[in-house]
Amino acid sequence: MRWYAVKAILLPNGPRVTRHVFSPKLDLNSVKLVLASTSPYRVALLQRLGLPFETIDPEADESEDRGESPAERARRLAKFKAMAPGKRAGLVIGSDQVASLRGQILHKPETPEVAVSQLRLCSGQTVAFYTAVCVMSTDPVWQGERLVTYEVTFRDLLLEEIKRYVELDAPLDCAGSFKWEALGITLFKEMRGNDPTALQGLPLIALCELLREAGLSLPLGSQSVKE
């Protein structure tokens, strides 16, 4: 495997040019891919890429910073999670999602009562989801990040519909109180965005772009990784 660090070149009578040069292909037998998340939804999404990886708990403090926008919060936490393994070698993936209704952050409900309350607020409204993903390498030092925005407009929901949905889908660990990949789709009037996987917390299109920038060839062939 060949990696090159950032190289700064001072041209005669010209500006300094900074270049990022990477090997066109990484060997996953020697480069470890790490997902800094314990979310089963992010694990399932990353498995779709057919890449060998391991997971760790980033132990992130997700308390809010005063004056921070939902997009800024998502980017900050994604970067923090990618940094959490410290000096651990390999490509580390951190991701975070923030749901916002008219500027109000919608946290994971954790209880059926809060889920019902959130969905009543969302009825007939548009919720914006800001999902950030950050990929870091510790040797050499490299970082790339993306922010993906996705909007969901809910139809006008009856209270009995909301209660029935929460009972059936149990979206208690989902920001916004729904699982779009399951029965949550029945609550929507419209979805707008470039990558629906962002709604599950890990935007795969953006992640694939970052992994290619880091030098990983995708899709990965069946002979690329030894058992």
113 belongs to a structural domain: yes
Instruction: Give domain status of residue 218, yes or no.
Output: no
Name the residue range of residue 34's domain.
7-213
157 HSE (CA, 13 A, CB side): 27
Residue 220 lies inside a defined structural domain of this protein: no
Residue 40 is assigned to a structural domain of this protein: yes
Is residue 224 a part of any domain in this protein?
no
Predicted structure pTM score: 0.82
Residue 152 lies in a domain: yes
pLDDT, one tens digit for every residue, the chain (227 residues): 333 333 333 334 444 333 333 444 556 556 789 999 999 999 999 999 999 999 998 887 777 767 889 999 999 999 999 987 655 668 999 999 999 999 899 999 999 999 999 999 999 999 999 999 999 987 667 899 999 999 999 999 999 999 999 999 999 999 999 999 999 999 999 999 999 999 999 999 999 999 999 888 888 754 444 33
In whole angstroms, give the CA distance from residue 201 to residue 39.
Answer: 9
Is 187 in a helix, a strand, or coil? helix
**117 part of a folded domain:** yes
* Assigned domain for 22 exists: yes
Count of domains forming the chain = 1
Task: Identify the CATH number of the domain in which residue 42 sits.
Answer: 3.90.950.10
Catalytic residue selected from 96, 169, 173, 195: 96
- Please return the burial class of 130, using the count of CB atoms within 10 Å of its CB with bins 0-12, 13-18 and 19+: buried
Q: At what angle do helices 112-122 and 159-169 cross, to 10 degrees?
A: 130
Residue 156 designated active-site: no
